[in-house]
Structure 1
């Protein structure tokens, strides 16, 4: 599965000129969408507004994104694609929850090193707290990718089906990640220094403490 921005997460990939231009145009559209959503909200922003701000045509916009909300979620899709690749690499290893937590932490670390993607994820996380339209789009994206994620977790943990254990592991990963992202976004919004990977690790430890009690 390939998602917008995924190539930029691979430190060994060297995109050719055409690919670099494609990624640059995509990033311009994402940046324009986030700026306009922050200023006016997603409901009062149109595709034409985003295209004009990015300096592209409406036709070009739709070559990259299906909806105006999608234009703000490229980094989230890139994260999901990178995590899927990490999980699929562990298929058949009877992977435990902590191994999967490590996979999430690794992807977050890679995105943190590539500041553009992590910066867009931060802005989205801050915006969804106030923007119902963007929040709905993010929830739909999560729902869209959950079924495939469940199957990947089942394979990685050695289960033939998406059974109760698979669901619990998947939901635990999702809950920890969402809590960590919200805490990280809140701290950054208050002007505090915040290490996303450290916050995620702390969130996982807290989740284990709570469930053990």
Structure 2
């Protein structure tokens, strides 16, 4: 059961979202490289010191929605009752985490869509995203080792991680390329279709 955040936490999340939206607006208009923290702070109606309480760099503002997905996925992995998990089990966990994002509000999905679009054309943001994804992979290795019942991060766990990561990245980009309204059914459907295509490719 999801615990409803208190007033202070809701206000913190609102401020964080306002900064993220202001940054994305500016990145879309003039690019990340030509946008300053001061511009983002002014657009969000906060001070620079407030900005840095939420984000270490301007690039981080574009990764908040991806961190939200990571948190949802970690929570789902922790709650999984069956151990060890195989690839299909983990795909179901991911699908459930994607559904959780939609249940928490379409704003997160909307930001993810905007960020995926920016990554295609913004070199600075793409470099930041690749660095973050490298760190994410390291965090997930341990989680997958536990989920698959493997004490060490062996070749099988690494292959599983790479397979999951590539499939998820392709699904996000495919979903973001559509202009239909965001929604749980749509994103989960695209992810499941991508997983099915993976089966086709592997079996060819």
TM range (shorter): over 0.9
For 2:130 and 2:202, the matched residues in 1 are separated by 25
Question: In 1, Cα distance between the equivalents of 2:182 and 2:138?
Answer: 35
- Say which SS state the counterpart of residue 100 (structure 1) adopts: helix
What is residue 78 of structure 2 aligned with on the other side?
A: 88
Q: 1:50-61 counterparts in 2 under 5 A?
A: 50-61=40-51
1:171 aligns with 2:159: no
The runs of at least 4 consecutive aligned structure 1 residues that moved more than 2 Å come to 88-92, 191-194
Name the CA distance, whole Å, in 2 between partners of 1:48 and 1:91.
46
Structure 1 alignment gaps of length 5 or more: 1-10
Report deviation, 1:193: 7.9
Q: Determine if the alignment matches structure 1 residue 21 to structure 2 residue 29.
A: no
TM-score between both structures, scaled by the size of structure 1: 0.90
Question: Is residue 2:24 matched to residue 1:34?
Answer: yes
Kindly indicate which of the two structures has a greater share of residues assigned to helix: 2
Q: What value does the CA root-mean-square deviation take over the aligned residues? A: 1.6
In structure 2, runs of 5+ residues without a counterpart are none
Give the conservation status (yes or no) of the 8 Å contact 2:117–2:177: yes
Cα distance in structure 2, aligned partners of 1:158 and 1:193: 35
- Cα deviation code 1:21-71 (max 9, x no counterpart): 111100100000000000000000000000000000000000000000101
1:145 & 1:203 partners in 2: Cα distance? 21
* Rounded Cα–Cα distance in structure 2 between residues aligned with 1:68 and 1:133: 10
1:43 paired with 2:38, answer: no
Alignment match of 1:143 (pick from 134, 139, 143): 134
Aligned equivalents of 2:82, 2:63: Cα separation in 1: 31
Deviations 1:109-158 (A, max 9, x none): 12123101000000000010000111111111101111110111011001
